[in-house]
Amino acid sequence: MKIIVTENHLESCEKTAKIMMDIINKNEKPILGLATGGTAEQVYEELVKLHKNSNLSFKNVSTVNLDEYIGLAPTHDQSYRYFMNHHLFSKVDINIENTYVPLGNTEANAELKKFQDKLNSTKRHFQILGVGPNGHVAFNEPNANLHANAHIVDIAESTIEANSRYFNSKNDVPKKAFTQGMGDILKAEQIVLLATGANKSDAMKSLLLGDEISTECPCTLLKTHPNTTIFIDKDLATLIGYNG
Ligand code: F6R
């Protein structure tokens, strides 16, 4: 794992967007694995800037997202499809038909199969990741066992709590989601995980300060991946006592 401490989260996002631009420019048919959430938001802002100011074209890009809430329609403003359309897809020249976010409001088992088929047939050149306060990656929540493949998950109580800031109340947060499995995620050629904010301290301590890999802290599985970069901002790095 390559670990880069940045001045601030904006620098982490700028650097990630540049990596993504290089991948888009160097591959004939780039396939990107995308994440939603507050951490990734500024990366998409930077990509939109690169599209506008540096001729970055998404015409040949395909994307697959990490996850989606079950029960939310794509038009719901907290669905991950809505997030992607709003923050990136509607602002660049991507062909929307080449973007895939599982559909949250359809028959779940059929959609799960479609999701896994999509993952099996698309080799991701790149995967962007955030991390949950409990170390979750996508919706792979801490557990004695994790899944390799896409699956339907009961969202952990602590994640419902963390995500409730985006909803009117905690009760409105869906209880289930589709998620890529850890095996799917680790198949991406290159992975970048970004971390910012004091609430990510425990997860980042497990990822950066020790050698242990544990399914009870799913992000630690990234230690097994041959091409992963972690961008952590200075404030969080200092807080956890990481000094290179
Ligand atoms: C989102 C996802 C989640 C988030 C994580 C961090 O697609 O897969 O694992 O990356 O919950 O969320 P934020 O960035 O909002 O702190």
Report if residue 52 sits inside a domain.
no
CA–CA separation, 179 and 67 (whole Å): 4
Query: pLDDT tens for residues 161-178?
Result: 989 999 999 999 999 999
Structure tokens at 202: 């425990």
Report if residue 215 sits inside a domain.
yes
Query: pLDDT tens for residues 2-43?
Result: 999 999 999 999 999 999 999 999 999 999 999 999 999 999
Kindly list the distances between the CA atom of residue 176 and the CA atoms of 31, 67, 71, in Å, as whole numbers in the listed order: 27, 11, 8
Q: From the alpha carbon of 65, which atom of ligand 1 is closest? A: 7
DSSP characters for 43-89? HHHHHHHHHHHS----TT-EEEESEEETT--TTSTTSHHHHHHHHTG
Tell me which residue of 51, 131, 53, 66 sits closest to 99, measured CA to CA: 66
Structure tokens at 89: 């897809």
Structure tokens at 95: 């062909």
Instruction: Choose which residue among 9, 32, 36 to substitute to test ligand 1 binding: the one with the highest number of ligand atoms within 8 A of its C-beta.
Output: 36
Q: Which residue has its alpha carbon closest to ligand 1 atom 4?
A: 130
Q: Is 107 strand, coil or helix?
A: coil
The pLDDT, as a whole number, for residue 244 is 82
Report if residue 109 sits inside a domain.
no
Report if residue 142 sits inside a domain.
no
Q: How far is the centre of ligand 1, averaged over its atoms, from the C-alpha of 36 (Å)?
A: 6
Q: How far is the centre of ligand 1, averaged over its atoms, from the C-alpha of 105 (Å)?
A: 20
Report if residue 230 sits inside a domain.
yes
Average pLDDT, the chain: 97
Q: Which residue has its alpha carbon closest to ligand 1 atom 12?
A: 37
Instruction: Please enumerate in sequence order all residues whose Cβ is within 8 A of that of 89, keeping only pairs 6 or more positions apart, or say none.
Output: 96, 99
Tell me which residue of 74, 1, 88, 103 sits closest to 42, measured CA to CA: 88
Phi, psi (degrees; rounded to nearest 5) at 68: -160, 145
Query: pLDDT tens for residues 34-45?
Result: 999 999 999 999
The answer to whether residue 231 scores a pLDDT higher than 90 is yes
* Contact call for residues 108 and 175 (beta carbons, < 8 A): no
Phi, psi (degrees; rounded to nearest 5) at 197: 100, 140
Helix H, strand E, coil C: the string for 27-39 is CCCCEEEECCCHH
Report if residue 201 sits inside a domain.
yes
Residues carrying an active site annotation: 67, 134, 136, 141
Give the structural domain span for 213: 123-137+188-244
Q: How far is the centre of ligand 1, averaged over its atoms, from the C-alpha of 243 (Å)?
A: 25
Report if residue 227 sits inside a domain.
yes
Query: pLDDT tens for residues 54-113?
Result: 999 999 999 999 999 999 999 999 999 999 999 999 999 999 999 999 999 999 999 999
Report if residue 200 sits inside a domain.
yes
Query: pLDDT tens for residues 107-142?
Result: 999 999 999 999 999 999 999 999 999 999 999 999
Instruction: Choose which residue among 63, 64, 66 to substitute to test ligand 1 binding: the one with the highest number of ligand atoms within 8 A of its C-beta.
Output: 66
**How many domains in the chain?**
1
The pLDDT, as a whole number, for residue 86 is 98
